[in-house]
Structures are given as structure tokens and as C-alpha cells.
Structure 1
Amino acid sequence: MRVVVIGANACGAKAACRVKRLRPDAEVILIDKDDLISYGACGIPYYVSGDVATENALRETSFHVVRDEKFFTSAKGLEVLTKTLAQEIDREKKRVKVKYLETGKTEEIPYDKLVIATGSIPKVLPITGVDLKGVYTISSLHSAIEIKEKIAKGEVEKVVVIGAGYIGLEMAEAFADLWGLETTVLEYFPQVLPQSLDYFTARIVENHLREKGVKLVLNARIKEIKGKDGRVVGVETEQGYYPADLVLMAVGVRPNSELAKKAGLLVSPQTEGIVVNDRLQTSDPDIYAGGDCIEVRHLITGKKVVMPLGSLANRQGRVIGTNIAGGVATFPGTVGAFIMKCFDLAIGGVGLTLRQALAEGFSADYALNNQTERSHFYPDAKYAYYALIYDKKTTRVLGFQAVGPATDGT
């Protein structure tokens, strides 16, 4: 059996290794257009900040072995093709057309089972100036390396971050905390983390950001990114002008499902995610998909959503690998649990926010509580704040949010 896996990060690498572990006789080919593979993308802000010293640290196992091409070949028994772009899938002939980016040559690789783990693509605002030098998205580890090198050379004094979601806030901390850069965060909505928190927990985060010296602009309406001689110099909004040597656009991602769509696989017009069943098979039973490029079931609403979280991608890779190897595994859906750090705060949540619950038709309400994160009599005990979202008619718990001090757990 030959298994071809397109995409060598969280989902793809996990699926490939799982197949080989369960079926040592299988030939497994792992393909990726990048030369840096199997890295922890969630750790990119901490690499930029310096908390993670090197880019290789994001690619290491717990035994500090770098998960590079040699690792997957020698330790896992895979064939690895980096700098290789999957261009087309011929489902009838069961072949993948690839292009070797270093030479420009193309080849068709046959498969018995195929895995699509093509991830997501950062969204870019439809405004003037997004193509200026100094305007970035976190599209890969290469982007982070370039940003860090630019700052280290002293080329950046002022940063504007567009978007106050997970990546936006974590990168704002990296810029302001370690590097001491003048940092402004522009958010379209009237609160930070608008898809994850309600206003009553978001306010705690907003106050903390301002205490740490971040200039936070809510309800921001961006008109254009200004440039001079091809380089960014600032961001123009309806509220005013914000000078910048570097602009980071963190306004969300969309599924990278074009390859699947081109192959005639079912892709949702609503979410843009590849449609899969609970075994993570696509509309072609010999082709599986997982990670940021698929849609999944939200277990609270029952609706299909895109949930680009590395934790889910790893689980989905394991499910895919088990099923391809002849086992039985399912991925029923998600409640969207997350946790993150923002300066001295730990922020977590699961399920629906109050706003989302009301929009879904629940008779929703919320309860707030605050208490110390350890026994109140213990030295340095600090308060954390909690919100429970529930349905008044059924008493069903719909969501939970927590904001409190980021401690070492002692």
C-alpha cells in the first residue's frame, strides 16, 4: 500500500507517522512545498519574542531531536519530499502531480490512499498597501524568521498589529514586551478576542494590554496602509493615522482547500472547508483530509465550522492514520477549547460565548465569578475571573471563559 500525504505539519506528519507505525509494510510519502516542516506554529509568537531561542526549537521532539527531513526518513521510515508543490490530483488514475520547486521538474506520483493536510491561508484585508515591504502575515515560520531578523537589526521602532485575535495579541506581546517596540493594536470589533470572549471578560484583557503599554484601538476602521518608496510608513484609519515601520496583519485564516476543489472533492461553499465524514474521509473514500483545511462539527450547535487549532490537527492526523492502516477511529467534532497567554494573563475558553449562544437561538444567560487561583491564604494569591454561559430553559452549559494570572502552577 502506498500512502501519499500532502502537507507535513501537525496533521500531515502525524497521519504519516501513524500509518507507518501501524503498517510498517506501507510505503508512505510525505510532501510539502516548504523546506521547514513539522514545526509548532502555535509557538511562532514565542520564537519572535525570544522565549523560544531558535527556530529549530519549534521543530524538536521532547528529546530535542529536530524533526527535519532526515528525522522522518531515518527514525520514522518515511520518504520525504520538501520544496515540492502538489499541483493536481487525478482521482481516476489515483495520481498526484507534483512540481519540484528547486528544479522546476514535474512528476506524477501514484497513490492507494491520499491525505490532504494543506492547512490554512492568512486572510488579507482588501485595502491599498498590503503589498508594501514591511507588511506581514504569519503565513509560515519563514515569515517569523524574517520579522525577528528585521527587529534584531534595529530596523523597527513602531509596530501596528491589525487584529486582536490569538495571533494578534501574542505577537503584540512579543513586540512590546521583549523588544520594547511602540506597539499599536487595531481591532475592527468593539473588543479583543471577539470570537472567543464576551465583553465582560475581554475588558480585563484590554485593561491589561494598556497597562503593559500597548496602544489599543477598538472599532478601528482601516482605510489604507501608507507607504513611501515601496516601504510601509503607517496605517490610516477613520480614527487617525498610526506610524509604523512594520505592520502585522492578523485578521484570521481561511482553509487552503483549492487543491481539493480542483480535484472535484466536496468543499463547503459556506466555510470553504473540505467536507469530511467522522472518519475524516472526503467525498472520495480513498482520500482523507484533516487540519485547518477541513470543516468540523461544533458539538454545541451541531453546525459545521472551521476550527484552525493545532491541537485538533494533531488528533485528526492520528484518526486518519489509524483508519488508513485498517483500524477504526472517529473524530466526532469539537467544542473549540483554547488557552493562551497574554503578558501576565492566562486566557482560556470553550464552547459558545453569550453573543454566539443568543445568535444560535438559545435562551442564554451568564454567571460571573472571581476567586483566587490558589488558596486565598497562600502568599501572592491572585484573583482570576470566570464566566459560565448556560441555557436558562434547559440549564445546559453552553460555554465557559476564564481570565487570570499566568503562573507556573505552584
Structure 2
Amino acid sequence: MSQHVLIIGAVALGPKAACRFKRLEPGSTVTMIDQNSCFSYGGCGIPYYVSGDVSDVKELCNTSFHMTRDEKFFKEVKGVDMQPRTRALSIDREKKQVLVERLDSGEQETLSYDKLVIATGSSPRRLPLPGAELEGVHVVADLNDAEKIRAAVTRGEVSKAVIVGAGFIGLEMAEALTDMWGVETTVVEITDQILPGLVSPTIARMARRHMEEQGVEFQLGQTVQRIEPAEGGERVAKVVTSAGELEADLVILAAGVVPSDKLARDCGLACSERGGILVDEQMRTSDPDIFAGGDCVVVKHLVSGQPFFLPLGSMSNRQGRIIGDNLAGRGKTFPGAVGSFVVKLFETSVAGTGMSLAAARRAGLDAVSVFQIQLDRAHFYPTKELMTLELVVEKGTRRVLGIQGFAGSGDAMVGRVNAVAALLPRKPTVDDLSTMELAYSPPFASAMDVLNSLGNVADNVLEGRNVGILPDEFAECWESDQGECYFLDCREAADAGQYVERLEKWHNIPQGKLAERIAELPRDKRIVLVCNTGARSYEAQITLMDQGFADVLNLQGGMAGLKKWGLEL
């Protein structure tokens, strides 16, 4: 029997659900409304339009075969009635009607439905800042914002910009303004690291340092107090932070997003106390005739088992297909997500999936992280690059909880993160990672892949054979040491010699010579072992522990990690 499906929201999830359902039930009617004139576009491409990598904003609204997703496209190609500039005001669940307003005329009318889909997405978190209404202050909510920012930059009106927030959007916009347009850009972040909650302080610092090398400045651990215009003007001129004043021709408020769940709350649908519509595995709300998905819902985290909010276009599209299936009665499920992400930062990228160490501990898990730096392909292959990975595991169960990484902007690291993402719902252990099968050829991987090595390192750490410290912990030891530590470089003299010559407390015994020179080492000091990446120093640690040395630490990631982290010895 044919039915009428009404969809509120037409950016990512709405169009996917509409088109999937129409393919399954061509005889049914689908009406899709959106309050904006721009709809069904690639919102995640906005920073790349601002940067100029995407030359025309229309490209974000086109299909892969160069058709524009406008009203005519949806009507003629997809059989969907698309109604832009139409705002949903309220939902009457008993009458199964939605009161809408036609924004161009101001007229109101009711639209009936058999099934309703709420795809209202998310909205930028509004900061209560004096001056936020000034000309030149923007959020990045839709294509209109993107076009205003791009227009101001291309007209030469922007030489200095301030971005509030060091999450995905903030960092991507910082790259866009700095790389293509040469705008002096400062990012202000209230926490003490970029990408807070997503990666460890170690990986965050490595990524931040790379961005600083490209010209982006950061004020971490600072708050914005107000935004001020030039005297007598209405356009932004400076941003006042807890650290001082910053000149600004452009301000972008990128302090995160919140689920747009007001319609659902107002009509009595179950919502999370922290924001977001509650749905079951079939993406149904507490009303069986209403579905919801995308940025306006919370879903189950498949690692922690707790509800979480993940505003990503990729998840919206996957959920949209599930909703389209279930509108047709197919009973498909969306069990949840593990929280996978990747962000490009100039010539590097940061990626992750699952839980960071901080997130795991907040969830009450007894977790530890291990750190590994290794080449992304065979060491003898001419084009190779170091990849930094941090694995989060649960101590007792040996379960893998998450992985985050920092590397070049190619596909090598993202491929490894995606491989772990596919495993996480099945509760893998470090042993599964150690024996994981990956495609091998020297141009693409090492015979012992970096993921296998990472699993092996985690196994050694959990078993107490590899007792390590991260670069930040090493830096603290180095800078505060009053002779309690003995820093031993396990590399060959050709690599270690320059440090021995310059640094009084730097010592060198190559790992292969350590057993025969064991008497040279003090037994009344903590011995901190160093090599290029942490592999030879681990071998040295085994030797020393076997010889009865009780306090031995191995620098995870070695000198490569220290250099990326930024410690100048």
C-alpha cells in the first residue's frame, strides 16, 4: 500500500533516505522540506571551497556525474517533491501533521504524513560573546556562510583571522585561510590541546607543531572574552582573549555543534539530557511512525556501550539508507558506531577510531596506551614515511579500545585506522592485531606491518616486558633531572655521537654491545633508553632487566617521536 513520507531536512540524511525509499516503493509519495535555499550538498567540503581547492560552490551541490541536485533533479530524476525555503514549526503526532512556514511568503500550512523523518542536523554552538553579531564574524553552518567567508577573502578584505575552537572545522578553516590565501591566522582554544577529547596530548602536540611550521598560531588554554569593532564601526577589528588582544578582519566561531532537536523535544519525543534525539537500532524514535538520524540523534558507541554524538556526513548517509529501508518495512538495523575520523592538516593528517586514552578512562575503563613510530612501507623502498600510531587497550581483557595516528596526508595511515575500525565492533584483542592479515608488497607495507608491530608492542607492555614513557614524560624527566636518571642512547656511534659530544648527561652504548659492557652502567639510577623509534631500546631493556636492573624505561617512539613532539635537546 502506498504511503506518504515527509522528511524534514535535506542536506545529507534526508536525501539519502528519500531516494532509497523511492527506489523500494516507487508508488509512494515523498515530500522533503528544508528551510534553506541550498540543500543536498557536501557540507564537509566547505573548508575546501573556502581554500580554493574546490573552485565553484556548485561543485558541492553536484552529483558525481555532474548533475545539480536542485528541485528539478529531485522531481524528475528521483521522484521526490523537494520544497526549499520551508521551515517546520511544530509536529502534531496525534494528527500526524507538520505545521510549516513558507519563508518567502510568510504563509503557514499543514503537511500530513504517514511516516515522518526528522533530519534537522546540528547547529553551531553559539557562544555568548559580546560582539558576536559584528560584520565579519561567522560560523560555518552552511553554504551561505562559506560563500560569505570566501567572498571576503577573495576581495582582499582579510589579512588577519581569528578562529575560536581547535576541533575539525577550526583546524580545517585555519589551513584553508593560511595555505591558499596567506591570511595570518590564530586559533584560540579553551583546552590545552588541539582536537580535545579525540587524540592524546602527544599526538595533538605533533599536529599542532606542524601547523605552526606552516604559519598558524595557537593560543591554547585561553578564552575569548569579547569581540570589538573599530571605533565607530560595525565591522570586527579585534578579539580580546584572556591572554590579550588579537587584531582580526575575520572571526570564525568554531566551538563545536549541538544537535538540532527542538522539534522533537517540543512534540514529546524522547531525547538525551545532553542533547540529541534517542533512536533504536532501526533509527525509530519513541514514536514508531517517526524516524530520525544524522547530526540530530545520539547513537550507541560500540566500544564503550554508551550513547554518543558523532556529527559526520558519512554516518548520516549510512543511516539514511537504513531509514529508507525501514520506511519500506525491511527491518534493517544500525547497531551504532565506533567514532572514526580523519582530518587533513597541510601536508599531514590526524586520524582515529574508537576511544582515546582519556575517553576510555572517563568511561571507567582500566586502559593504557602504547605508542609506535614505524615506516609505512618496507624500509628499503625509496618512498617511505614514518607513521605515528597510538593504541589504546584495556589492561585485564587485552581488548583494543581505539587507535589514533599522525602521519602524512596520504592513504597509508587512514587505511590502518580503517582496518582497526572494522574490527572494533567485534571486541578485538591485541593478539588479533598482532596476527591481523594485511595485504603486503614493499611499495605498500612492511612484511611485519605497523599494525602487527603495534599489537606486539601492546602485548609486551601488558606483560611488563616493555616499560615505556611517552615523549612528554621523557621531556619532563630530561628537564627536571638532577642526576637521578642515566640517559642511554642504544644507537650506533654514528647516530649517537653528536649528542654525546654536546650533552654531558647523554651516554651511548650500541644495543649490540650492551651485554659485554653492562658493568659500565650505574645500578643506583633510573636508566632511560633511547633509539630511533623504540625497537632497539626495547631489546636493550630486555637485556638490562635480565641482568637485574630494576628501574629501566624505554622511550616509546624514540628520537623520531621526540623530534615530532618538539623537544630540543
TM-score range, shorter chain: over 0.9
The alignment's TM-score, normalised by the length of structure 1, stands at 0.98
Q: Secondary structure at the match of 2:277?
A: coil
| AA matched with 1:397 | V
> Who wins on radius of gyration, i.e. which is larger?
2
Query: Match of 2:564?
Result: none
Distance (whole Å) between structure 2 residues aligned to residue 350 and residue 385 of structure 1: 14
Query: Match of 1:68?
Result: 70
Query: Match of 2:184?
Result: 182
Query: Match of 1:251?
Result: 255
Query: Match of 1:263?
Result: 267
- C-alpha contact (below 8 Å) 1:124/1:130 kept by paired residues: no
Aligned mate of 1:51, from 27, 50, 53: 53
Distance (whole Å) between structure 1 residues aligned to residue 331 and residue 347 of structure 2: 43
Query: 1:372: Cα distance to partner?
Result: 2.0
| AA matched with 2:320 | G
Aligned mate of 1:324, from 298, 322, 327: 327
Q: Using a 3 Å threshold, how does the CA distance of structure 1 residues 262 and 408 change in structure 2: closer, same or farther?
A: closer
| AA matched with 1:306 | F
The alignment's TM-score, normalised by the length of structure 2, stands at 0.71
Q: Secondary structure at the match of 2:278?
A: coil
Deviations 1:32-53 (A, max 9, x none): 1111111111110001001011
Q: Secondary structure at the match of 1:154?
A: coil
Query: 1:104: Cα distance to partner?
Result: 1.1
Query: 1:203: Cα distance to partner?
Result: 1.2
Query: Match of 1:313?
Result: 316
| AA matched with 1:87 | L
Query: Match of 1:382?
Result: 385
Q: Which runs of no fewer than 5 residues in structure 1 stay unpaired?
A: none
Matching of residue 278 in structure 1 with residue 281 in structure 2 = yes
The equivalences for 1:293-304 within 5 A come to 293-304=296-307
Structure having the larger proportion of residues in helix: 2
| AA matched with 1:391 | E
Q: Which range moved further: 97-106 or 110-119?
A: 97-106
What's the Cα RMSD here?
1.1
Q: Secondary structure at the match of 2:193?
A: coil
The equivalences for 1:325-364 within 5 A come to 325-364=328-367
Q: Which runs of no fewer than 5 residues in structure 2 stay unpaired?
A: 413-442, 444-569
- C-alpha contact (below 8 Å) 1:373/1:404 kept by paired residues: no
Q: Percent identity, please.
A: 47
Deviations 1:326-360 (A, max 9, x none): 11111111110011211011211011111111111
Distance (whole Å) between structure 2 residues aligned to residue 94 and residue 38 of structure 1: 25
| AA matched with 1:250 | A
Query: Match of 1:27?
Result: 29
| AA matched with 1:376 | H
Query: Match of 1:232?
Result: 236
Distance (whole Å) between structure 1 residues aligned to residue 46 and residue 382 of structure 2: 34
Structure having the larger proportion of residues in strand: 1
Query: 1:408: Cα distance to partner?
Result: 6.7
Distance (whole Å) between structure 2 residues aligned to residue 408 and residue 258 of structure 1: 39
Distance (whole Å) between structure 1 residues aligned to residue 329 and residue 159 of structure 2: 55
Distance (whole Å) between structure 2 residues aligned to residue 245 and residue 105 of structure 1: 39
Deviations 1:154-179 (A, max 9, x none): 11110001111000000000000000
- C-alpha contact (below 8 Å) 1:209/1:216 kept by paired residues: no
| AA matched with 1:145 | E
Matching of residue 104 in structure 1 with residue 106 in structure 2 = yes
Query: Match of 1:210?
Result: 212
Query: Match of 1:399?
Result: 402
| AA matched with 2:263 | L
Deviations 1:17-40 (A, max 9, x none): 111010001100010111111111
| AA matched with 1:294 | V
Report how many residues are paired.
Answer: 409
